[in-house]
Amino acid sequence: MKMEYKRAASLFLDALFPRRCPVCGDIVMPPGKLICPGCQGRLSFVKSPVCKKCGKEILSEYQEYCFDCTRHRRSFEYGIALLNYNEAAGASMAAVKYKNRREYLDFYADEAVRRLGSEFEAMRADCLIPVPVHPKRYRSRGFNQALVLAQKLGEKTGIPVCSDILKRSRNTEPQKELGPSARLKNLEKAFTAEKIPPGLERVILVDDIYTTGSTAEACTRALKAAGVKNVYFFAVCIGQGQ
């Protein structure tokens, strides 16, 4: 009876507020789906072989690490990602952040757990920690997409979300035009972590996009300085590896 009530409520909400596709932005058909069937093929899901550190696709199964991870120190244990960053994924993530299309994250969280559920379990995380945004950016945007994503993942995996541990204390310059070293320098001291509660040793950082790894690295350093032993990460989209 409870399931029937939830289904009826869901159908009512779909009729009142039709769900829009995270790729094309049009109303999803047939109703009840999270993405247009034809649009899912425009997304590039990460597949093996991948870098053992950051999770980017690599060219050969005989490689262990991508080019970036052989050149730059990584303090996190390793990471996983759902999608290769392409035009469709980039436009979808931009719509989430700048056009308040938070509902798109329902599809990405659902697909992440479906495809990567065993990976999340293997991390044995005590909590999910969203990458924070600076309060100024939060006020202008009205939400933090990483927090919304973490909450949806938490609902599906049962892993609690801890959003009050990691803070962004500096509003850094935009990262888009910077190289890997400049990005990390730009983020130095941008993140701080509160004292970690007893028993919280393994965490998963959650973010929308992983490019050079500078944000994940800066967050990891802050968390480990505060007492976290193992830091993993999940990103919806990840840049292309080599």
- For 143-160, how does the pLDDT look when each residue is reduced to its tens digit (9 = 90+)? 999 999 999 999 999 999
Domain parsing of the chain, residue ranges: 1-41, 43-241
Which tokens is 195 given? 């004292």
> DSSP characters for 146-191?
HHHHHHHHHHHH---B--SSEEE-S-PPPSTT--HHHHHHHHTTTE
For 162-198, give one letter per residue: b (16+ CB within 10 A) or e.
Answer: bbebbebeeebeebeebeeeebbebbeebbbbeebee
Neighbours of 45 (CB within 10 A): 13
Question: Which stretches of the chain score pLDDT less than 70?
Answer: 1-16, 170-186, 241-242
pLDDT of residue 123: 98
Fold of 43-241: Rossmann fold (3.40.50)
pLDDT of residue 209: 97
pLDDT of residue 240: 80
Q: What are the φ/ψ torsions at residue 27 (nearest 5 degrees)?
A: -65, 130
Distance, in Å, from the CA atom of 231 to the CA atom of 203, rounded to the nearest integer, reads 5
- pLDDT by residue (tens digit) across 71-122? 988 999 999 999 999 999 999 999 999 999 999 999 999 999 999 999 999 9
Dihedral over Cα of 115, 119, 121, 123: its sign:
negative
Find tokens 């597949």 and name the residue. Answer: 47
C-beta of residue 116 within 8 angstroms of C-beta of residue 102:
no
